[in-house]
């Protein structure tokens, strides 16, 4: 719980917003812009984008709408670069961000282990 509270404290509408897609009081998904390398001023113009879409709403444009809104807000938030770190096996998330012009900027091979399987950690980014 403490980690979630700290995460929420890092966000504000003025700099690092959290976007929520709701329909009839049901949360369909969320997206956030967060500090990249929190506390290091050299990265103040860079934000990390994260999102999660409920299983029932995947493939219905919810993620597209949330990511599009976050990207469009970057200029007035003072954000020039957006990065995301994804498991290499997460093709839907990778494809969503590639659709918005993100490019692969780096890959750490086989550093994540889930259910005894090794996965790459992929860094993708976009200058906005």
Task: Give yes or no for residue 2 having a pLDDT over 70.
Answer: no
pLDDT of residue 10: 73
In Å, how far are 62, 63, 82, 88 from 40, measured between CA atoms?
Answer: 32, 29, 16, 27
pTM: 0.88
pLDDT of residue 13: 73
The tally of domains found in the chain comes to 1
pLDDT of residue 8: 64
Quick one: how far is CA 60 from the chain centroid? 18
pLDDT of residue 14: 75
Task: Give yes or no for residue 6 having a pLDDT over 60.
Answer: yes
Domain that holds residue 108: 2-127
Q: What is the mean pLDDT of residues 5-9?
A: 69
pLDDT of residue 11: 72
Which CATH number goes with the domain that contains 33? Answer: 3.40.630.30
């Amino acid at each position: 719980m403490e980690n979630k509270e700290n995460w929420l404290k890092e966000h504000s509408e003025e700099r690092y917003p959290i976007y929520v897609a709701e329909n009839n009081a049901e949360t369909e998904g969320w997206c956030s812009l967060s500090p990249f390398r929190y506390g290091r001023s050299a990265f103040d113009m860079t934000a990390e984008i994260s999102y999660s879409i409920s299983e029932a709403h995947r493939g219905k444009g919810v993620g597209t709408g949330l990511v599009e809104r976050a990207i469009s807000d970057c200029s007035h938030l003072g954000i020039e670069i957006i990065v995301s770190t994804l498991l290499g096996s997460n093709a839907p998330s990778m494809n969503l961000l590639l659709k918005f012009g993100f490019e692969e900027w780096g890959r750490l091979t086989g550093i994540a282990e889930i259910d005894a399987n090794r996965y790459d950690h992929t860094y993708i980014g976009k200058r906005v």
